[in-house]
Structure 1
Amino acid sequence: MHAFQTFPIEQFDMNPFTKIGKEWALVTAGDKNKCNTMTVSWGGVGVLWGKNVVYIFIRDSRYTKEFIDNGEFFSLSFLSEEHRASLQYCGAHSGRTDNDKWANAGLTPEFRHSIPYPDEANLVMLCRKMARIPITEDTFLDPQIMERWYADHDMHEMYVGEIIEVMAR
């Protein structure tokens, strides 16, 4: 287990366009009996409903979505470039069919407040789920979004999570 320090959110400074959009992140949910992680590259951080939040998008078909839907918490974790292959693996392989996805990705599940996250991360946001918002075709004002991103109708749901703790090393 690597040593993490809690980090005051008031001192938190990151570029979400780089961290999420280019470097990617892992969203992890479940419990000590069973958890899953997947790569995300769509989302953000901000303030909503008077809380510091993250928002992420997960397709209906993703296995991790079942864990998020069935639990109260999830984590959003960032890894250094040396773990790029792990991020790629978690984006291309499902825990539904890969019984040892964590090990095959070169990752180790760890827990804080019973919330799973990869021990190899260098920045972890522990989050309490606040909202789940379906993305539906009728919400798009730009018809090209449906054509480009959802031709197969495998839609996303947006999850908003209150950041309850930030850990860094």
Structure 2
Amino acid sequence: MKKIEVSELTENFFETISKEWMLVCAGDANRYNMMTASWGGIGWLWNKPVAFVFIRPERYTFEFTENNDFMTLSFLGKSPKAREVYNLCGSKSGRDIDKTLESGLTPYPLEDGKCVTFEQARLALACRKLYADNLAPEAFLDPSLNERWYGKQGGYHKMYIVEITGAWINVHHSINGLK
């Protein structure tokens, strides 16, 4: 993987996050978990390049996010094989299976092992937590969003604002190399 300046990113993240999806991976090179996400964003806040990520407390990745300062956002591409990996990581829990083994992904440590992406990622963003807060029912200005996405089951996401500390592109990207 080749490190690039964050300012060199040319992604349309509206399209990338909503249509391609991403893996949110938290933990360090020794112990981590990842999950699929299709909500979030990239922007500029506090004079820093940032991302905002939403994770439900029920997710196994939530524990890793809470207990570590770094996370990665990894983008695998739009191939059918990438979609299989996203579907697996979004529907199975790391409590029950080894997602790395099951998906065929190969871990690739970033930021001196403080976070992990995967060799198969076409783009990876290393991120450091800056701020976190829980979504709350009383804070919805449009109650229909609360009703639609949370209803009576709760499970309100926690929002993390993270500084993008580094960006890597895979000049030899090939998701087809997955098992």
TM-score normalised by the chain length of structure 2: 0.89
Measure how far apart 1:32 and its partner are. Answer: 2.4
Structure 1: state its 5+ residue gaps: none
Q: Write out aligned runs for 1:26-37 (5 A).
A: 26-37=23-34
AA at the equivalent of 2:161: V
Measure how far apart 1:158 and its partner are. Answer: 0.7
What is the alpha-carbon root mean square deviation over aligned residues?
1.0
Which residue in the other structure is 1:84 paired with? 83
2:32 counterpart of 1:40: no
Q: Write out aligned runs for 1:9-158 (5 A).
A: 9-82=6-79, 83-98=82-97, 100-113=98-111, 114=113, 115-151=115-151, 152-158=153-159
Measure how far apart 1:9 and its partner are. Answer: 1.7
Q: Secondary structure at the match of 2:58?
A: coil
In structure 1, distance between residues paired with 2:59 and 2:158: 11
Measure how far apart 1:106 and its partner are. Answer: 2.0
Measure how far apart 1:125 and its partner are. Answer: 0.3
Q: Secondary structure at the match of 2:159?
A: strand
Measure how far apart 1:147 and its partner are. Answer: 1.1
Which residue in the other structure is 1:159 paired with? 160
Call closer, same or farther: CA 1:8–1:33 in 2, change over 3 Å: closer
The count of aligned residue pairs is 165
Could you list the structure 1 runs, at least 4 aligned residues long, displaced by more than 3 angstroms after superposition.
none
In structure 2, distance between residues paired with 1:67 and 1:84: 24
AA at the equivalent of 1:133: D
Measure how far apart 1:7 and its partner are. Answer: 1.1
Structure 2: state its 5+ residue gaps: 171-179
TM-score normalised by the chain length of structure 1: 0.94
Output one character per residue of 1:103-147: Cα deviation in whole Å (capped at 9) or x when no partner: 112212220121111221010000111011110101101111111
Q: Secondary structure at the match of 2:20?
A: coil
In structure 1, distance between residues paired with 2:84 and 2:56: 22
